[in-house]
Amino acid sequence: MAAKHAQQKPSARLYCAGCVVLPPAFYDRDTLRVARDLLGTLLVRQSREGLTSGRIVEVEAYLHENDPACHAARGCTRSNRAMFGPPGRAYVYPIHSRYCLNAVTRERGTASAVLIRAVEPLDGIELMRRRRQRQTQRQLTLRELVRGPARLCEAFAVDRRLDHWDLTRGQRLWIGREATAGWRDEEIGQSGRIGVTAAADLPLRFFVISSPYVSGSRRSRPA
């Protein structure tokens, strides 16, 4: 159990080194399936500042059909256009002067996506800390670096410029699969989505029960 979470000890070898970039076909499936399967994959960001990576431990599905909480529910606008594009692209949405990162999927040919809410920090922790530390005086704990969709984007330097970015090319920003096995279904929790007012009861949030990096209160997790 605990062994599935990486130790903080710095390693000479990169965690994301053996990763295989997820192909377009991965995203071109039922959105719930993609959301579940994204748990345990690695989010990787390569920029001029350096490389950061983290294991995805919490996601939310946003479906085009019968989901009023989905940004695509009211049709295509300038800001949500990426969701109407091909699967495997990034949809970066600005909110409250911060950003959220989604992976676009295909839900029977309509616009849908998976919001990445939290990761377990792996590579480039000091770089994440530098980016996140800019506002705060206090020393941030490891879990505070990436717990929550907007904190995660700040730690990974994801902003509007990466909207529409192709996540399947293995450059700048991508998601990869490790050789090691992921979590079993019993280790995955499901709940309503956080922060949404519409359709808040739909169980479209998936998270790793044992992970300390999952956002939201403990109450949103089963005992």
Partner DNA sequence: CTGAGGATAGTCT
Partner DNA sequence: GACTATCCTCAGA
Q: List interacting residues with DNA (CB under 7 A).
A: 60, 62, 69-72, 74, 77-80, 83, 91, 93-98, 100, 102, 113, 115, 132, 135-136, 138, 144, 148-152, 160, 193-198, 215, 217-219
Contact 59, 116 (CB under 8 A): yes
Q: How far is the CB of 194 from DNA (least distance, A)?
A: 5
Distance CA 209, CA 186 (A): 9
Q: How far is the CB of 60 from DNA (least distance, A)?
A: 7
Q: Which is nearer to DNA, 14 or 29 (CB)?
A: 29
**Which distant-in-sequence residues (6+ apart) come within 8 Å of 83 by Cβ?**
64, 70, 71, 72, 91, 102, 104, 111, 112, 113
Q: Which is nearer to DNA, 41 or 102 (CB)?
A: 102
Q: Residue 130: which H helix or E strand, with range? A: helix 125-132
Report residue 221 CA to chain centroid gap.
18
Q: Which is nearer to DNA, 31 or 53 (CB)?
A: 31
Q: Comparing C-alpha atoms, which of 155, 131, 118, 144 is closest to residue 40?
A: 118
Distance CA 68, CA 177 (A): 31
Q: How far is the CB of 158 from DNA (least distance, A)?
A: 12
Q: Which is nearer to DNA, 122 or 204 (CB)?
A: 204
Q: How far is the CB of 25 from DNA (least distance, A)?
A: 22
